[in-house]
Structure 1
Amino acid sequence: MVSPQDIEKASYSALEWTEFFDEKKSIEIEEGDIFNVYVKGTTGPLFYLIHGGGYSGLTWACFAEIITKKLECQIVAPDLRGHGDTLTKDESDLSSERQIKDIQLVYQKLFADRSKPPPMILIGHSMGGALAIRACEAKLLPNVVALAVIDVVEGSAMSSLKMMHHFLKSRPQQFRSVEESIRWCVKSGTTRNLRAARISMPAQIRRVDKNDEKKGYQWRITLTRTEPFWIGWFNDLSQKFLNCTPAKILILANVDRLDKDLTIGSMQGKFQTEILDKVGHAVHEDSPEKVADIFVALVNRYKVIFNKML
């Protein structure tokens, strides 16, 4: 007979990346800098997905699972520098300049043998949204038809930096097991979708001692050490977003997150705003179906353009 404890443990067990992606590639972008990249699909428009601080490419797993059932498309979701299974010579440099260069080089290595780059939908969450905006404005990536950012706005991001230390210190610094970390992730509301937590959370932690599981797990990246880069990620972000020429979508968990510049821009129709309910900061994890539907509608709306570029 299965005990209640075994049932609970199974419900919070980790899921494998193979359930969501076709490949897990190791891409050496520069000597000693090897990026881990999750890939799915080989045809159709490309969704290039940039995760937020502390997450990994697996934060997009549920979204990738759903969008590829609704559309013929390609998914590229890298682990950024200092995150997930990516290994680099300098994991401490998380400046915008270094990271958008990483994002560019990962793309170039993956598509070096393609004579015709696919049309791209560039999506970033939180810190990844800031990086996506900066990469797009600098025109580091080809054929960007649409830029989408999830729950990152300059005004609210800059004001929340003051509370970031308190938030980070309030999190558990260690977990006894992967299951415990997933349980915390869901019960704390960090992710409200259990399936997303089961694939995303394990990639955010590492064994304290890689040879001894009993010593528990700690965070893969110490986010407090990234503080020198926080202002650089978000400063002047609203204007840079408005300056980007592709079609733009801002996906938020709360309409109150809009700052003055974006409120005016939204009223002027300079970008599409989507406000989702019953979600937290990780909007794409909490409601992957609704987020996927936003992009299905986008691709259908721009179908003629995409077809000409494919």
Structure 2
Amino acid sequence: MEKQMMKQRFGLPPMPPIATGSAGKRKHLMRKKDYSPLHWDKYFERKHDVITTAGNSFRVYERGHDGPVLLFLHGGGFSALSWALISTEVTSLVRCRCVAIDLRGHGDTVTSDDTDLSAERMSSDVGDVVLSLFEDNPPPILLVGHSMGGAIAVHTAIRGLIPTLIGIAVIDVVEGTALDALSSMQSFLRGRPKIFDTMDKAIEWAVRSGQIQNLESARVSMVGQLKSAESEETGAEELEHSHGSSTDVITEEAEDDCEGDNQRSADSKRPCPSISPSPSSGSTCSSSSLESSGLSSSAVHQGHKYTWRIDLSRTEKFWKGWFEGLSQKFLSCPAPKMLILAGPDRLDKDLTIGQMQGKFQMNLLPQCGHAVHEDLPDKDVVSWHDLRALEKQTDNCGTQRRSSTGSQLVGY
């Protein structure tokens, strides 16, 4: 009676009927997950193809314009797009510049020998890219590397290839556990799908398998891990055709272009990039109206299948070189250090002793997978709060010497 009076007085609508359908009907009402790929400019502000003195072309994505540089090195099989979400998070906290590189043999980087993935070669590549980007006046640089990229970051630091290095952060790679895992690595790689019907299917597999637990990150990151099984065009380049953006080329000399010494390798299927600037995250483009800034399956070439950009099984001869002696090299780096792990069981003896002696700071982020920075970008950037101290010190000066910043970079 009271309910009836309330309805008459306030005009309340009748209660909806209680669902009595089957579980299948209820499942139909659930919102379907969107596995469509996301374009890089939702996270990064610009991209460049950086041409080094050796004529190699390295794809670089950036966010931010000044302040200290966070130089991101991705893991084996990943790409620079792996750092998309965390670049957005960190630049929202402090004034800095995020620079993410497609390493040799990965993503949209093209070199004279994409098969040489030795630690010495790849660390030299990092030094070459820094030289091409900043020439003789590099800003303070913090190296951040995940898995294989973490090992390369350590090799780069220990060789002194970055003169303004102010810190190094290594994500989920430890010598002992890495070497132990090598014996089963080929079996793991054989267990992955070789072919995907669409990019969407590849993204869905990455999330469902746990390779990348964060759906949003998988939607942008997996694009850099794929290529067309037929034309071998990379996923990122194919996405550009629908998105309508272009690519910058940065060389060490203004007169360099896509011909002559800096020409891309002949076996590259990609066209020479234009020199016009790429759109930033705030620009308009032909696909801006697509829902959630993603591209539906129909917006990308879906008439062919996709495979992995790099065949990691063929890089086995370089694996030990990445990880052997890594713990001692890491501890020997003169710059402040941080180790970010998905669990404490990953520590080996040398790092356990070093951690007890306070030689580096360790952050544990459980409840995530190997791709820590992708799974929990908002948690991972808690580590970057200490960049505020560095930001204040670089407000009124140019290049900051490591000796004057190291003691202030709390947490590294």
Q: If the length of structure 2 is used for normalisation, what is the TM-score? A: 0.71
Q: Does 1:144 align with 2:165?
A: yes
The list of structure 1 runs, each at least 4 consecutive aligned residues, that deviate by more than 2 angstroms after superposition, is 210-215, 300-310
Q: In the aligned structure 2, how far is the partner of 1:26 from the partner of 1:301?
A: 32
Measured in 1, the distance between the counterparts of 2:43 and 2:392 equals 29
Cα drift, residue 301 of structure 1: 4.5
The alpha-carbon deviation at position 24 of structure 1 amounts to 0.9
Q: Equivalent of 2:149, from 109, 124, 128?
A: 128
Contact in 2 for aligned 1:125/1:150 (Cα 8 Å): yes
Aligned to 1:155: 176
**1:36 alignment partner in structure 2:** 59
CA distance in 1, matches of 2:54, 2:162: 22
Check 1:241–1:23 CA distance in 2 against 1; reply closer, same or farther (3 A cut): same
Query: Which residue identity lines up with residue 187 of structure 1 in the other structure?
Result: R
Q: Counterpart of 2:227?
A: 206
Deviation at 1:85, TM superposition (A): 0.7
Of Structure 1 and Structure 2, the greater helix share is in: 1
Runs of 5+ in structure 2 lacking a partner? 1-27, 234-300, 401-412
- 8 Å CA contact 2:94, 2:388 repeated in 1: no
Q: CA deviation at 1:121?
A: 1.1
SS at match of 1:175: coil
Partner of 2:111 in structure 1? 88
Equivalent-residue separation in structure 2 for 1:192 and 1:11 (angstroms): 14
Distance across 1 between alignment mates of 2:305 and 2:60? 26
Measured against aligned partners, the alpha-carbon deviations of 1:168-198 in whole angstroms (never above 9, x if no partner) come to 0111011000000000000000011000000
- Counterpart in the other structure of 1:176: 197
Structure 1 CA distance, aligned partners of 2:101 and 2:72?
Answer: 7
> Is the CA contact (8 Å cut-off) linking 2:63 and 2:88 kept in structure 1?
no
SS in structure 2 at match of 1:55: coil
2:315 aligned to which of 203, 226, 234 = 226
Q: How much does 1:129 deviate?
A: 0.3
**Deviation digits for residues 115-150 of structure 1 (CA, Å, limit 9, x no counterpart):** 642111110000000000010011100211110000
**Aligned position for 2:376:** 287
1:217 aligns with 2:337: no
2:303 alignment partner, SS class: strand
Following superposition, the deviation at residue 86 of structure 1 comes to 0.7
CA contact (8 A) 2:368 2:376 kept: yes
Q: What SS class does the counterpart of residue 313 from structure 2 fall into?
A: helix
Which residue identity lines up with residue 118 of structure 1 in the other structure? P
Work out the CA distance in 2 between the residues paired with 1:107 and 1:134: 15
2 CA distance for matches of 1:202 and 1:129?
21
Shift of 1:303: 5.1
Deviations 1:195-239 (A, max 9, x none): 000000111010111397433000000000000000000000000
Quickly say closer, same or farther: Cα 1:167–1:14, change in 2 above 3 A.
same
SS of the residue corresponding to residue 80 of structure 1 reads coil
1:306 Cα offset (Å): 4.3
C-alpha deviation, 1:256, in angstroms: 0.2
- CA–CA distance in structure 1, aligned partners of residues 137 and 129 of structure 2: 17
The alignment yields a C-alpha RMSD, in angstroms, of 1.8
Which structure: larger Rg?
A: 2
Greater mean alpha carbon deviation, residues 26-35 or residues 217-226: 26-35
Q: Deviations over 1:14-45 (max 9, x none)?
A: 00011111111011114542111101111111
Structure 2 counterpart of 1:299: 387
C-alpha distance in structure 2 between counterparts of 1:135 and 1:230, whole Å: 16
Is it true that 1:248 corresponds to 2:248 in the alignment? no
Give the equivalent residue in structure 2 for 1:99. Answer: 122
Task: Report what 2:81 is aligned to.
Answer: 58
Cα distance, 1:31–1:117 mapped onto 2, change above 3 Å: closer
**Quick one: which amino acid aligns to residue 201 of structure 1?**
M
Residue 117 and residue 63 in structure 1: after superposition, are their counterparts in 2 closer, same or farther (change >3 A)? Answer: same
Which deviations, in whole Å up to 9, do the C-alpha atoms of 1:273-293 show, x marking residues without a partner? 000021100000000011112
Separation (CA, whole Å) in 1 of partners of 2:393 and 2:45: 27
Q: In the alignment, what sits opposite 2:273?
A: none
Partner of residue 133, structure 2: 110
Q: Secondary structure in 1 aligned to 2:229?
A: strand
SS of 2:52's equivalent in the other structure is strand
Is the contact between residue 207 and residue 213 of structure 1 (CA under 8 Å) also seen in structure 2? no
C-alpha separation in 2, matches of 1:300 and 1:215: 47
> What amino acid sits opposite 1:57 in the alignment?
A
- Considering fraction of residues, name the structure with more strand: 1
